[in-house]
Structure 1
Amino acid sequence: MIASAQRATARRRAAAVLGAVALAFGGGAVLAGPAAAATSSFSVHCVPPAISGIPAFDGTTVADISVSDTTPQVGDTVTVTYVLDAPLANTSTFNLAIPADQITPTVKVQLGGAQTDLLTFVGPKSNPVIPAGADFPNFTITGTFTVTAPGDITLTPSDFNVHSDYGISTDSPCTVNNPPAPVATTITATSAPATNNRKLTLSSGSGVIGASVTVTGTGFTPDTAVTVVGVKGADATGEYTAATTDSSGGFTASLSVSNLDTTGILAFEGTTYDASTAAGPIAYSVTDNSPPPPGSQKLTATVKSGTLSMTQAGDTVEMTAVDASGSVAHSTGALNAVTVKDYRAGSTGWSLTAKATDFDGPGSAVISADALSWTPSCSTAAGSPSTCVAGSAGTIGTAGATLASAPDGTLTGGEFTADADLDLAVPAFSAAGTYSSVLTLTLT
């Protein structure tokens, strides 16, 4: 008799909790305020577990969907943050509290437009204790997807499910009424720039008037006609020769240079210049070996190549403290400025990259290096032949990313300052304490 009563109480307790979880997403949910740009409000049909004794119902729910990058390139990884708003109180007639870490939400996001895909993101099982009669918290779920096509890509909330492990393992699936739901947000993807792997090397960086220089090219289209010319800046100076690439895209040509104005040599496919199929210009100087007129003296001076180096303003970055919470928090900071000095006086550019280790915290706590992102910037000192280009905003991670760079050119060099704003996405319910990572900079 006692055992029977205990079993009945347990069933009522489980039904009450499961019913409370189900009710959190339906039955006339109330909007928290005006819809933001990334917010979608939509009607759903929810089916509580049979043990709850609650019939299926229709209601309104709200999804706030934001992305890490609204203008990615094809091939980029975009992080999606989905906040599921469940503002109803625990309305169970049994008035029971729900313990911590018992509810796991799963949401689906439909991609549309230029890229079509149905994404499924599973949230953390990390709800706080929900007191009897208290409002249910919002659930924050994150996930990623890779951009595969250029154009506008819409993100639309779709069906979701609430899984509970309190008392008994059950699901409360909710499907969108009259799909699709309203679009939550839109990103605009662009095609990744084509990589130009064409390279030139010269047998010598200078020569007397009329001397021949051997030009070697690699990475060109196989079995293709190539034009090799002398230039001064963007203007041809009259030297010209033709070559044909071999089956591997390489060629060797001999160019006679006799114009004292020539400062570089470049090569391009076909007979019309196109930067996308060209390499160079590579710096080349012509030495005037003609004898001086009678009664005069010829003066010459030599400039030797210098070095490529970098210095940094400091070696420690103290990022802002954040409070532990049930959602992602952002710790921010600024990279110590890095000064690049390129005194090589040649034609080769440079690239400054960085990669980070995972953030080690108290005990065995770790925040992934992929949670660290930056927004780089770069400035060029007046009088520098080159102009630096800041890297793209995004994740640094263990794979690394570019902070700044300067392209190849007829004459390169100068002084540059690179820095970046840093952002660490601290996961929900991270352990309290100090987390440390090492950011390694490499200049090539």
Structure 2
Amino acid sequence: MRTRAGSRRWSAVFGAAVLVAAAGAALSAPAAAGGEEPQGRVEFPTYCLPPQEAGLPPADGPTTARLTVDDPAPKVGDTVTVTYQVTGTPAVNPIGTELPADVLTPTGRILLGGAQSGEVTVVGAKRNDPVQPGAGLPAVTMTGTFTVTSPGEITLAPGSYTLHTSHLLDLDTTCSATGTPVSARLTATPLPRANLRSVSLGAAYGKPGAEVRITGVGFAPGSAVTVAGRAGAAETTDRVAATADERGAVLAELPVTDRATTAVVAYEGRAWSAQQGSGPAAYTVVDAAPLPQGTQKVTAVVEQGALSMTQAGEAIALAAVPYGEGGAASGRIGAVTVKDARGGPAGWTLIGKVTDFTGPGGGPPGSGREPVRIPGASLSWTPSCTAADGSPSRCTAGSAGPVGPEGAVLASVADAALVGGTFTVDATVTLRVPPYTPPGAYTAVLTLTLS
């Protein structure tokens, strides 16, 4: 792995996860348990088309349904589980005899709107009571997952659904719906963004009245910036105004006359805050008064460092799975060490993204020899994060769940008055491999970004 001194954003190839497997094609994200938050019941018109073999006419009528989500306030990158309950349908038993128990499999789709568009595929278990000839099909429950990609309010509305029966014949009753009402809402918050404002000083100490050259970076381009002296959490009388250039850089000369000044900060707005201000850069006012004969003044300076990371190893080898059976190929990422020596208020976020897994095959499009792929969303992880003894901050591990090309949070530290420390970040990973995936090695690239 490579790091760059002073860099406040680190991005590199984290590792190629290699799987030697004997198992099959693409895998969809696993369904999780249904949501527990009650949502509103909705009713909408549907047109149910029975299978041609049944010889039945189409059924027009209302469907009653309810959608629930397991997390009404997720963060961008989180995986949300959605449950679609059809409690009433105009669809009827498509065969002329009793439909036995546990032969009905429902599938459907949920429509996303608002801050995020798209569809969520939901699937239900083969579970039903017996249905008499000509009677309506029973209530069904389907679940699915999606990854939050945009902040803001996301609406969910029930879509069409299919009721598949597997008795005597495999038959599909398809119920289409248009203009369905919103049945659930969630509000997604953006990923935490690091405050990258910082200042450096031309001198770490000086006599009262000395002008100190201030260099700042990371500010909003063109913003008004205040450069001020600090004594602990309070500002001193030393202050000068500056303007950030088109790159967000600030240059200023600050006369330091207040003997109480022990640091210099810069900030946007009317007052310093952890979101719009730099961390303190240490400064010492050297008393100009002569010292008694035989004495000396001793000055020590604590310098700011950088936000950096290193990783143990560059490859992840997952366990093999047997051909025909598929299953979970498990492993562990190389431990990541994050060191934050900036000494300011800005936290950090470590995000991972993974490409699709590419396996045997290969050739020009249409040749029939395209590589076999397993979607990156089939890789999930369970992160952990530990702060070293003496670190002023505590880190938070990301949520367990799929990684995928959209990415997921591996670990983070929130903004605070003073942030810093050394942190060890780890995660177990699991790739869900479908049965009868062609034998061979499957590789993907997992990229980590620290900001």
Give TM-score, length-normalised by structure 2.
0.58
1:111-130 pair list within 5 angstroms: 111=112, 115=114, 120=119
Deviations 1:26-77 (A, max 9, x none): xxxxxxxx9987999989652236575222347999989776865324x658
Q: In the alignment, what sits opposite 2:378?
A: 371
Instruction: Tell me, yes or no, if the aligned pair for 1:258 and 1:286 is still in contact at 8 Å.
Output: no
Structure with the larger helix share? 1
Measure how far apart 1:229 and its partner are: 0.9
Q: In the alignment, what sits opposite 2:206?
A: 208
Q: Which amino acid aligns with 1:310?
A: T
1:127-166 pair list within 5 angstroms: 144=146, 150-151=152-153, 155-161=156-162
Higher Rg: 1
Q: In the alignment, what sits opposite 2:187?
A: 189
Instruction: Tell me, yes or no, if the aligned pair for 1:209 and 1:259 is still in contact at 8 Å.
Output: no
Instruction: Tell me, yes or no, if the aligned pair for 1:226 and 1:242 is still in contact at 8 Å.
Output: yes
Q: In the alignment, what sits opposite 1:29?
A: none
SS at match of 1:280: coil
Identity %: 34
SS at match of 2:271: coil
SS at match of 2:279: strand
Q: In the alignment, what sits opposite 1:279?
A: 277
Measure how far apart 1:208 and its partner are: 1.7
Measure how far apart 1:384 and its partner are: 1.9
The counterpart of 1:431, out of the listed 434, 437, 443, is 437
Q: Which amino acid aligns with 2:388?
A: A
The counterpart of 1:48, out of the listed 47, 50, 53, is 50
Q: In the alignment, what sits opposite 1:228?
A: 227
Query: Cα–Cα, structure 1 residues 240 and 439, in superposed 2: closer, same or farther, change >3 Å?
Result: same
Aligned equivalents of 1:118 and 1:182: distance in 2? 13
Measure how far apart 1:375 and its partner are: 4.5
SS at match of 1:252: strand
Instruction: Tell me, yes or no, if the aligned pair for 1:158 and 1:181 is still in contact at 8 Å.
Output: no
SS at match of 1:215: strand
Instruction: Tell me, yes or no, if the aligned pair for 2:309 and 2:336 is still in contact at 8 Å.
Output: no
Q: Which amino acid aligns with 2:424?
A: T
Q: Which amino acid aligns with 1:431?
A: T
Deviations 1:183-220 (A, max 9, x none): 5xx45314437857763433426122333222344565
1:405-444 pair list within 5 angstroms: 405-406=412-413, 413-424=420-431, 426=432, 431=437, 435=442, 437-439=444-446, 441=448
Q: Establish whether residue 199 from structure 1 lines up as the match of residue 197 from structure 2.
A: yes
Q: Establish whether residue 268 from structure 1 lines up as the match of residue 267 from structure 2.
A: yes
Q: In the alignment, what sits opposite 1:288?
A: 286
Query: Cα–Cα, structure 1 residues 286 and 258, in superposed 2: closer, same or farther, change >3 Å?
Result: farther
Instruction: Tell me, yes or no, if the aligned pair for 2:281 and 2:304 is still in contact at 8 Å.
Output: no
Measure how far apart 1:142 and its partner are: 5.7
Aligned equivalents of 1:155 and 1:208: distance in 2? 62
Instruction: Tell me, yes or no, if the aligned pair for 1:358 and 1:366 is still in contact at 8 Å.
Output: yes
Query: Cα–Cα, structure 1 residues 286 and 121, in superposed 2: closer, same or farther, change >3 Å?
Result: closer
Unaligned 5+ segments in structure 1 are: 1-33, 96-103, 128-137, 165-169
RMSD: 5.7
Q: In the alignment, what sits opposite 1:239?
A: 238
Aligned equivalents of 1:412 and 1:438: distance in 2? 31
Query: Cα–Cα, structure 1 residues 261 and 388, in superposed 2: closer, same or farther, change >3 Å?
Result: farther
Aligned equivalents of 2:232 and 2:413: distance in 1? 17
Aligned equivalents of 2:412 and 2:406: distance in 1? 17
Query: Cα–Cα, structure 1 residues 250 and 117, in superposed 2: closer, same or farther, change >3 Å?
Result: closer
Query: Cα–Cα, structure 1 residues 123 and 311, in superposed 2: closer, same or farther, change >3 Å?
Result: closer
Q: In the alignment, what sits opposite 1:382?
A: 389
Measure how far apart 1:235 and its partner are: 1.9
Measure how far apart 1:121 and its partner are: 5.5
Query: Cα–Cα, structure 1 residues 375 and 233, in superposed 2: closer, same or farther, change >3 Å?
Result: farther
Give TM-score, length-normalised by structure 1.
0.59
Query: Cα–Cα, structure 1 residues 436 and 156, in superposed 2: closer, same or farther, change >3 Å?
Result: same
Equivalenced residue count is: 375
Q: In the alignment, what sits opposite 2:15?
A: none
Structure with the larger strand share? 2
Q: In the alignment, what sits opposite 1:72?
A: 74
1:288-367 pair list within 5 angstroms: 288=286, 290=288, 291-300=290-299, 310=310, 312=312, 316=316, 318=318, 335=333, 337-342=335-340, 344=341, 347=344, 352-361=350-359, 364-367=371-374
SS at match of 1:370: helix
